[in-house]
Amino acid sequence: MVAPPPTPRNFAVDVARASAAFQDLARQMGAQFLDKQEIIRLMVVSAIAGEHMVIVGPPGTAKSAMIDMFAKLIDAKYFEYLLTRFTEPNELFGPVDISAFREGRYTRRLENMLPTAEVVFLDEIFKSNSAILNSLLHVINERKFQNGPEVVPVPLISLYAASNEVPNDENLAAMFDRFLVRVLSDNLDSYHFHELMKKGIALELRKMTGRRGPNDGPRTGAPADLRPVISANDLRSIQQNFDKFMVFPEEFLTKYKGLVFQIRSEGISISDRRAVKLLKLFAASAVFDGRTRVHDGDFFILRHIWNNLDQVELLEEIVNPVVDSYYREHPDERRFIGPSASLDDLLTELGLIRELLTSGTELSDIQLFSQLKNLNEIKVALAALPGDAAARMIREVDQLLETVFASSKFGL
Q: Assess if residue 348 is contained within a domain.
A: yes
Helix-then-strand count for the chain, H and E: 15, 9
Q: What is the pLDDT along the chain (412 residues), one digit of tens a residue?
A: 333 333 345 555 578 888 889 988 988 898 888 889 899 999 999 999 999 999 999 999 999 999 999 999 999 999 999 999 999 999 999 998 888 778 778 889 999 999 999 999 999 999 999 889 989 999 999 999 999 889 999 999 999 999 999 998 888 999 999 999 999 998 887 766 777 888 788 878 887 887 765 545 444 445 556 899 999 999 999 999 999 999 999 999 999 999 999 999 999 999 999 999 999 999 999 999 989 899 999 999 999 999 999 999 999 999 999 998 888 787 666 554 333 456 666 777 787 777 777 777 676 665 676 677 777 778 877 776 767 888 888 888 888 888 776 664 544 4
Q: Assess if residue 125 is contained within a domain.
A: no
Q: Assess if residue 26 is contained within a domain.
A: no
Q: What's the domain count of the chain? A: 1
* Domain boundaries, position 372: 343-405
Distance CA 153, CA 146 (A): 9
Q: Assess if residue 396 is contained within a domain.
A: yes
Checking DSSP bridges between strand 119-123 and strand 78-82, what pairing results, if any? parallel
Beta bridge partners of 125: none
Which residue in 358, 364, 370 sits closest to 404, CA to CA?
A: 358
Distance CA 384, CA 340 (A): 12
Amino acid in position 4:
P
